[in-house]
């Protein structure tokens, strides 16, 4: 079961970017909102994956988990 979607409000895009996204949505036969959601989810999941790999590398070096706290 997937988590419910969260309404993030309205997304404003530059006209040239909107034209591209609209064309891509037409090609894929989805609406623009669906395409933008897929782009955002894909980008975030890639970042999560990178963070997970970095954490594993950091832990393998014996430094423990990466917690993002730079004020130490």
pLDDT digits (tens, 9 = 90+) for 34-52: 999 999 999 999 999 999 9
| Maximal C-alpha separation, the chain | 50
The predicted pLDDT at position 70 comes to 58
What's the predicted TM-score (pTM) here?
0.74
Burial class for 30, CB neighbours closer than 10 Å (0-12, 13-18, 19+): middle
Mean pLDDT of the chain: 90
- With DSSP H G I counted as helix, E B as strand and the rest as coil, what are the percentages for the chain, rounded to 5? 60, 0, 40
Q: With 70 as the cut, is the pLDDT of residue 71 above it?
A: no
Summarised one tens digit per residue, pLDDT across range 5-18 is: 889 899 899 999 99
- Residue 3 is given by DSSP the state P
Q: With 60 as the cut, is the pLDDT of residue 72 above it?
A: no
């Amino acid at each position: 079961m997937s988590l419910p979607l969260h309404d993030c409000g309205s997304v404003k895009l530059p006209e040239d970017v909107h034209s591209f996204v609209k064309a891509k949505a037409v090609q894929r036969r989805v609406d623009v909102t669906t395409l933008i959601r897929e782009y955002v989810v894909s980008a975030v999941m890639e970042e999560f994956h990178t963070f997970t790999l970095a954490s594993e590398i950091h832990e393998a070096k014996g430094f423990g988990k990466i917690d993002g706290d730079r004020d130490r």
